[in-house]
Structure 1
Amino acid sequence: MTQDDMPRTVRGLLRALDRASLATLLPGEPAGWPYASLVLVAVDHDLSPILLMSDMAEHTKAIKADGRVSLLFDGTGGLDQPLTGPRVTVLGRVERTGDERLKARFLARHPDAALYAGFKDFGFYRIALERAHLVGGFGKIRWIDVAELAPPQAEGLVEAEAGIIDHMNADHADAIQLYAAKLLGRAGDGWKMTGIDPEGIDLRRGGEVARLGFDAPLQAAGEARKILVNMVARARSMP
């Protein structure tokens, strides 16, 4: 992994994982202590993590007093030697959001959360990132500023995303299954697309998530159809 690869590695980790460890500072007893908790995460097109949290949770009480947080995304699962694998800690400031698009992106990533997302004591939150600390394995360690993390943008893709996902899941479930089985080596039926951004697509099957990256970033939403069709052809050509 070169220095130039590191921002892309961070983006890939954030998008590939659907949960993270959230660290906050407790405002009450024991005041001032760091508090780590497990949260479900979706990631927006600009790389901002999106959370759904209960007002009664200790971490929610903490961020109301101090919005500075960090999230650890651990990509070492399944490795015989976890310390050789990648993990990234991102730092940012969190604020509650009423943005319906962010809510929809989170619920597409975590469909079961729809059961409680509408409860009055739950709210959606967006984290504005400031820095990231990547440990890509032994000796592959670097702080990365948010400007360097900025993902590529594809004109019109944010607005077109929901329609693309609905169309693929409704009319091309077989293609999604091919992506998972042939291109990613994932077992089982019933994979769904949950997101698309300039660098790849997100898939889910029950409690499993998967990330399929594109060979090159999309420049505009209109390119999505061509690349999705090309990936089907590639998958069908594989033994």
Structure 2
Amino acid sequence: MSYNAATEARRLMRAEPAATLSTGHGGDGWPYGSLVLVAADHAARPILLISTLAEHTQNILRDERVSLMFDGTTEYRERLTGSRVTVMGRAAKTDDAHARARFIARHPSAAMYAAFGDFAVYRVEPERAHIVAGFGKINWVEKADLLTDISGAAELAEAEADVVGHMNEDHSDAVGLYANVLCGRPGVGWRLTGVDPEGADLARPGDRCRIAFDKQVATAEQARVELVRLVKRARQAV
């Protein structure tokens, strides 16, 4: 499969459940790095749920410029042969209910503190990204190429919770096949946590993975077609 810098960068942004958030510390501007949980909206813009009590949030309130490093190298024996991407952008608080729901679906434990008064959802609007995907695969990716075009995909966002609920309640066997066969992840108890125009996220306690659609989708019906296609592929592989 040919390497596409923007596609690989976006895959990491969607797949990794955590990232290193770098902000400018206080008034001196020193870089300050912290580990944060992260999700992505349908365009692949990073979503954070953070507290005003946290040092990084105070830094963002002073200077909205941030970077997020998504590390896809943890399962490699030689870490530097794996892919990682640093996304540079501006973080701003958002009241987008869909962004909040996607974050909590991806990180269910966040439901315990999401309603606390000091917590809020922030969305990072990327300006560019720098990806290193192994030897000779080092590229800058601009915003226009980095994000997914979601014009015309509002219906999928509105139907996402229903699609996810239907798959988990009525087709848990298919969800298990996605994880076990297509992702190569063992174990039972896998659940869909989100569906976006490019694929779907899955999780079980202690593990996560992602499946990619063959075609970008914009509606629940188009997502259903892709999910059916993928389960057929998994059954054939078995």
Q: Give the TM-score, by structure 2 length.
A: 0.94
Whether the aligned pair in 2 keeps the contact of 1:71 and 1:90 (CA below 8 Å) is yes
**2:24 is the alignment partner of 1:25:** yes
- Offset at residue 219 of structure 1 (A): 4.7
Whether the aligned pair in 2 keeps the contact of 1:152 and 1:217 (CA below 8 Å) is no
Shift in CA distance, 2/226, structure 1 to aligned 2, threshold 3 Å: closer
Equivalent position of 2:61 in the other structure: 64
Separation in structure 1 between the aligned mates of residue 24 and residue 218 of structure 2, nearest angstrom: 40
- Offset at residue 198 of structure 1 (A): 1.7
1:1-239 superposed matches below 5 A? 5-28=4-27, 31-153=28-150, 155=153, 156-239=155-238
- Offset at residue 147 of structure 1 (A): 0.4
Separation in structure 2 between the aligned mates of residue 169 and residue 92 of structure 1, nearest angstrom: 34
Separation in structure 1 between the aligned mates of residue 226 and residue 53 of structure 2, nearest angstrom: 44
Separation in structure 2 between the aligned mates of residue 188 and residue 99 of structure 1, nearest angstrom: 34
Q: Give the TM-score, by structure 1 length.
A: 0.94
Moved more, 37-46 or 192-201: 192-201
How many residues align? The count is 236
The 3-state SS of whatever aligns with 2:160 is helix
Deviations along 1:183-214, one digit per CA (max 9) or x if unpaired, are: 11111111110111121110011121101111
The 3-state SS of whatever aligns with 1:237 is helix
- Offset at residue 21 of structure 1 (A): 0.1
Q: Which amino acid aligns with 2:14?
A: R
Separation in structure 2 between the aligned mates of residue 75 and residue 227 of structure 1, nearest angstrom: 25
Q: Which amino acid aligns with 1:108?
A: A
The 3-state SS of whatever aligns with 1:175 is helix
- Offset at residue 127 of structure 1 (A): 0.6
Separation in structure 2 between the aligned mates of residue 114 and residue 141 of structure 1, nearest angstrom: 37
- Offset at residue 150 of structure 1 (A): 2.6
Separation in structure 1 between the aligned mates of residue 147 and residue 96 of structure 2, nearest angstrom: 21
Identity score, percent:
52
Q: Which amino acid aligns with 1:97?
A: T
Separation in structure 2 between the aligned mates of residue 218 and residue 142 of structure 1, nearest angstrom: 27
Structure 1: tracts of 5 or more residues without a match: none
Separation in structure 1 between the aligned mates of residue 13 and residue 129 of structure 2, nearest angstrom: 11
- Offset at residue 113 of structure 1 (A): 0.6
The 3-state SS of whatever aligns with 1:196 is strand
After superposing on structure 2, the runs of 4+ consecutive aligned residues of structure 1 that deviate more than 3 Å are 152-155
Deviations along 1:142-186, one digit per CA (max 9) or x if unpaired, are: 111100113143632111111101111111111101111121111
